[in-house]
Amino acid sequence: MRSRYLISLLAVLLVGVIAAGVVTLAAPKIQVDSETYDFGSVIAGTFVSHRFIITNVGNSPLTIKNVRTSCGCTVVDLQKQVLAAGESEELQADLSTTGYHGRIEKRIYVESDDHSNALVTLRLTGVVKPAQPYHMAIGNLEYMFYLLVDIRDPDAYAAAHLIGAMNIPVDQLGEWTDRFPKKALVILYDDDGTLSDPAAKTLNDEGLTNVKSLMGGLDEWMNVLGDEFILRAGE
């Protein structure tokens, strides 16, 4: 009898609490600071970057299940997939406008376990103007970029070197290898390849496979091409 009374009392209390709106079910809830970013007007080839701020305004952890884009021209980066209640995280979006013209809209789809809003669509939109013949897109430069490294002594470098080459004497080369671009071609040269060949091989063996040696060195360059692209002292 007493247990029935307690059960009835608990039921009455529960009904009263629910009626008062005190009980709320724990659930994640996704919120974005702005679902559309208008980048205005840019020249074709420009990279557009924006950070969307995703916040879990619910009262239980939010899981980002997947982030996908409408085209390969848009790259996204999200460091955390699980956000605690009240926590925010940046979604970095980078858009390459190469090959586009006029008004464009690229979409980013964010899937989460917020059952009331499981799929959020973010948008990057704006106008892409044609590039001029004298323009060079950063993406194209990145693709073509290479680094010339003259590994002779500073006096030999000062006397004559390839235009655009930087001087790193061979005995200092190890101090610079961590600074070499990881994706770009790095070309080492000396007078005839005596130093650059073993130096390039050593760096290749260490995993820097983008490092090459100029065959025949500067002597062979001048033998074949003369003074083309050669900068001499006093010039």
Rounded-to-integer distance, Cα 6 and Cα 9, Å: 5
- Furthest C-alpha separation in the chain: 110
Write out the two tokens for 56: 């879990």
Is residue 104 a contact partner of residue 70, using CB atoms and an 8 Å limit? Answer: no
Q: What is the CATH number of the domain that holds 60?
A: 2.60.40.10
Total length of the chain? 235
Residue 122 and residue 95: Cα distance in Å, rounded? 13
Which residue bears the tokens 């973010």?
122
Contact 211, 170 (CB under 8 A): no
pLDDT for residue 142: 78
Both 53 and 119 in a single domain? yes
- List pLDDT tens digits, range 148-205: 999 999 999 999 999 999 999 999 999 998 899 888 899 999 999 999 999 999 999 9
Q: What is the mean pLDDT of the chain?
A: 90
Range of the domain at 46: 30-129
Confidence of residue 139 (pLDDT cuts 50, 70, 90): confident
Residue 80's SS3 state is: coil
pLDDT digits 0-9 by tens, 38-92: 999 999 999 999 999 999 999 999 999 999 999 888 999 999 999 999 999 999 9
User: Which among 129, 160, 192 is the end of a domain?
Assistant: 129
Is there a domain that residue 66 lies in? yes
What pLDDT, on a 0 to 100 scale, did the predictor assign at position 17?
Answer: 47
Residues 49, 66: contact at Cβ < 8 Å? no
* Overall domain count for the chain: 2
Residues 103 and 187 reside in one and the same domain = no
Looking at the fold, whether 107 and 195 belong to one and the same domain comes out as no
Tell me: the pLDDT tens digits for 54-65? 999 999 999 999
CATH of the domain at 160: 3.40.250.10
pLDDT per position as a tens digit, 196-229: 999 999 999 999 999 999 999 999 999 999 999 9
One domain for residues 114 and 47: yes
Contact present, 18 and 42 (Cβ < 8 Å): no
